[in-house]
């Protein structure tokens, strides 16, 4: 590090050192990856006045006429005609009030203006970054302290391990071939499709970054000219069922999120198949609001606040986790 003695500080050399220094005025913010807006739709009907968000699931029951499990055939003079029974269950989850104060003094503001580095704008950017990071974590894995879960670790969703065993283990990067990886993906999609009564086929697949990078860079074979990623998109069963390619995206939260296994036990990586549809999974969010600017002593103070909900998985059958990839 460069140090200066008293003579240097008192001399004109201090001025020359400041003059000859080329300072980059660009604001370099922390490196952060936020992807929640890509992977889930918002429920926007909640407001700052609400304490919780809820939804209902309806169950129908209908008995047949001749046989209880048969069709509802009736005769011309029938006088005992079965009806439909309806049961409506409600699921409610809290909305957590989020807030952060942005404050700075008048001398700080004046000094920042003279230097060309606005402290008010930087503090606002820092607050916005924290807001986005908190949403990202709530959407994907929830909050441990509050006992809430997210899109990738919900207790309502079934978790299983991969079926394919490669030559060197169970991980894709350990000598897994394109056919083995395709089998794992198709097996996951088929199981999720079956769990939903073959009514909804997953249209999206989230992978840990390492596995996504592997299938993107690895070719199908030495003679092939396409990557495993393109091979999956072209040969996945979701393409035929949904009429569009499977949307495969990386997600940093999936690394090490799987159930621990082995001796000694070690966390595994997880992949998630689901349908990104507001009617099946969504996230309730109350956008940021702020209080009027307050002048207190030499401080300028304003508070930003909003509400973060918990991921609403309306149909848990349409999501499936698979560990050990």
Return the HEC string of 64-103. Answer: CCCCCCCCCCCCCCCCCCCCEEEEEEEEEEECEEEEEEEE
pLDDT at 261: 83
CB 160: neighbour CB atoms within 10 A? 14
Rounded to whole angstroms, the Cα distance separating 38 from 23 reads: 36
Q: Is the peptide bond before 264 cis (omega within 30 degrees of 0)?
A: yes
CB 43 within 8 Å of CB 278? yes
Contacts of residue 88, Cβ cutoff 8 Å, sequence gap at least 6: 56, 57, 58, 59
Rounded to whole angstroms, the Cα distance separating 12 from 14 reads: 5
Which residues on adjacent β-strands are paired with residue 41? 282
Rounded to whole angstroms, the Cα distance separating 73 from 65 reads: 6
CB 240: neighbour CB atoms within 10 A? 9
If you ran DSSP here, which 8-state letter would residue 292 be given?
P
Place of tokens 């509400």: 307
If you ran DSSP here, which 8-state letter would residue 165 be given?
-
Which residues on adjacent β-strands are paired with residue 257? none
pTM of the shown model: 0.86
pLDDT at 46: 95
Spans of the chain below 70 pLDDT: 1-20, 23, 115-116, 164-170, 223-224
What's 237-271 look like in SS3? HHHHHHCCCCEEEECHHHCCCEEEECCCCEEECEE
pLDDT at 5: 57
């Amino acid at each position: 590090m460069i140090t200066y003695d008293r003579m240097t500080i008192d001399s004109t050399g201090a001025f020359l050192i400041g003059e000859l220094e080329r300072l980059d005025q660009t604001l370099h913010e922390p490196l952060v990856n936020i992807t929640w807006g890509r992977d889930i739709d918002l429920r926007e009907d909640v407001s700052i006045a609400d304490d919780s968000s809820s939804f209902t699931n309806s169950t129908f029951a209908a008995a047949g006429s001749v046989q209880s499990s048969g069709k509802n055939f009736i005769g011309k003079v029938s006088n005992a005609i079965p009806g439909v029974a309806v049961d409506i269950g409600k699921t409610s989850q809290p909305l957590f009030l989020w807030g952060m104060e942005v404050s700075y003094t008048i001398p700080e503001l004046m000094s920042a203006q003279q230097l060309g580095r606005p402290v008010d704008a930087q503090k606002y950017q820092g607050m916005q970054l924290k807001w986005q990071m908190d949403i990202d974590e709530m959407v994907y894995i929830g909050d441990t302290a509050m006992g809430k879960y997210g899109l990738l670790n919900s207790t309502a969703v079934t978790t299983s391990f991969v079926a394919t065993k490669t030559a060197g283990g169970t991980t894709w990067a350990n000598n897994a071939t394109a056919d083995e990886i395709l089998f794992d993906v198709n097996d996951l999609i088929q199981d999720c499709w079956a769990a939903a009564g073959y009514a909804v086929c997953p249209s999206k697949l989230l992978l840990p970054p390492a596995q996504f990078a592997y299938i993107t860079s690895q070719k199908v074979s030495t003679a092939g000219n396409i990557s495993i990623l393109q091979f999956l998109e072209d040969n996945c069963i979701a393409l035929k069922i949904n009429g569009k390619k499977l949307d495969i995206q990386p997600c940093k939260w999936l690394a090490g999120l799987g159930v621990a296994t082995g001796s000694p036990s070690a966390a595994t990586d997880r992949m998630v198949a689901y349908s990104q549809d507001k009617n099946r999974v969504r996230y309730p969010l109350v956008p940021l609001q702020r209080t009027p600017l307050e002048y207190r002593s030499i401080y300028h103070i304003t508070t930003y606040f909003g509400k973060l909900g918990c991921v609403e998985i309306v149909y848990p059958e349409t999501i499936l986790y698979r560990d050990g990839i």
